[in-house]
Amino acid sequence: MAEIKREVIEQFQFEGTYTEGIPYGSGHINDTFRVTFQEEGKTKRYILQRMNTQIFLHPEELMENVEGVTSWLRKKIEERGGNPDRETLNLVPTKQGKFFYADTDGDYWRAYLFIEDAMTYDLVEKKEDFYESAVAFGNFQGLLADYPAETLHETIQDFHNTVKRLDTFKKAVEADVCKRAADVQEEIRFVLDREPLAHKLCDMQAEGKLPLRVTHNDTKLNNIMIDNATGKAICVIDLDTVMPGLAVNDFGDSIRFGASTGAEDEPDLSKVSCSMELFELYTKGFVEGCKGSLTKEELDMLPVGAMTMTYECGMRFLTDYLEGDHYFKIHREGHNLDRCRTQFKLVRDMEEKWEQMNEIVNKYR
């Protein structure tokens, strides 16, 4: 973890005298610090982050996205009488009036107002937390429904271009650099048998049947702040992967990860299924949070979003396994294959529960 540099502290428009800076939170991507200032007996706190420029190669563009989205959210929250200091991230500008600072070592830094009296949680402890995260991400979608999504930069190119991902997968099978393909014929077949699924949402988007939206792309529980007093989600954070995309993919990735009864790398597949109870909770929360901003087609495609994101993710794990595990970190032999199998087990389970999933969506639309 990087240290905070004096040089950096002095660049931002923080109020008061700097008293403390400590590593903060449990994020895995950026180096996050909480910095404290004192002014006339009052304490002011901020979040200061060293951005991860290994992953995000264009920090300027990324910060343009964050700036655009947070200022939009601020305006919308003000309009509806909310508290914009707590219900969205707020960037602290530098003394030059910019929203990031590139230090003398080439590290990029940014700062936010610290959201007081709220917490993030790493694990879903109560089912209500999962529901709350659904409301928060739905609300995020709703507030940004008329944002000109096409003006956002694609911080990671073709992130959910499932057709392209399938292409990459086929090339990996063809090349078979680790000679592993023979042992995973069943999994390879699984992917190829479902080729139309890879095309479904991409085609609908290309035909203009699904609108381009502002998507978050990291809809984990620990990217929402939960109010300590009320237990309600108040704010969506971690906007690094905000990009133009499909609302159903944000929804789908949450289901993929959050509605599974097993861990993503569970070797015992009998433990892995898609919980209809959790699917229902998330659907209810997400649709409520969106407040009528989803189109008929988007609502129709929510289950397809869940299945596509799970299929795509399994395919990516399998691709990495075939290519020699250089993208996803592995902690044991066959780790990516285990991960791939949980995802395919989930897809199968969704196929079996397809009618029920659609009925659930119809109940809340």
Interface residue with Mg ion among 238, 280, 300, 338 (CB under 5 A) is 238
Query: What is d(CA 255, CA 302) in angstroms, rounded to the nearest whole number?
Result: 10
Query: What is d(CA 153, CA 66) in angstroms, rounded to the nearest whole number?
Result: 10
Minimum CB distance to Mg ion, residue 139 (Å): 18
Query: Looking at beta carbons only, is 101 or 321 nearer to ligand ADP?
Result: 101
Query: Looking at beta carbons only, is 238 or 265 nearer to Mg ion?
Result: 238
Query: Looking at beta carbons only, is 237 or 337 nearer to ligand ADP?
Result: 237
Query: Considering CB distances under 5 to 8 angstroms, the limit depending on partner class, which of Mg ion, ligand ADP, none binds residue 136?
Result: none
Residue 156 interacts with Mg ion (CB under 5 A)? no
User: Is residue 264 packed enough to be buried (19+ CB in 10 Å), middle (13-18) or exposed (0-12)?
Assistant: middle
Greatest C-alpha distance within the chain: 70
Residue 250 interacts with Mg ion (CB under 5 A)? no
Query: Considering CB distances under 5 to 8 angstroms, the limit depending on partner class, which of ligand ADP, Mg ion, none binds residue 120?
Result: ligand ADP
Is residue 258 within 8 Å of residue 89, measured between CB atoms?
Answer: no
Interface residue with Mg ion among 31, 240, 300, 325 (CB under 5 A) is 240
Query: Looking at beta carbons only, is 92 or 156 nearer to Mg ion?
Result: 156
Dihedral in degrees, nearest 10, Cα atoms 338, 343, 346, 350: -160
Residues at the interface with ligand ADP (CB under 6 A)? 24-25, 27-30, 32, 47, 89, 112, 114-115, 120, 222-223, 237-238, 240
Query: What is d(CA 312, CA 213) in angstroms, rounded to the nearest whole number?
Result: 20
Report phi then psi at 175, rounded to 5.
-70, -40
Minimum CB distance to ligand ADP, residue 143 (Å): 17
Minimum CB distance to Mg ion, residue 332 (Å): 25
Minimum CB distance to Mg ion, residue 240 (Å): 5
Minimum CB distance to ligand ADP, residue 309 (Å): 19
Scanning the structure block, which residue is given the tokens 């009618």?
355
Query: Looking at beta carbons only, is 119 or 177 nearer to ligand ADP?
Result: 119
Minimum CB distance to ligand ADP, residue 28 (Å): 6
Query: What is d(CA 316, CA 154) in angstroms, rounded to the nearest whole number?
Result: 19
Q: Could you please report the per-residue DSSP string of 151-219?
A: GS--SSTTTT-HHHHHHHHHHHHHH-TTS-GGGGHHHHHHHHHTHHHHHHHHHHHHTTSS--EEE-S--
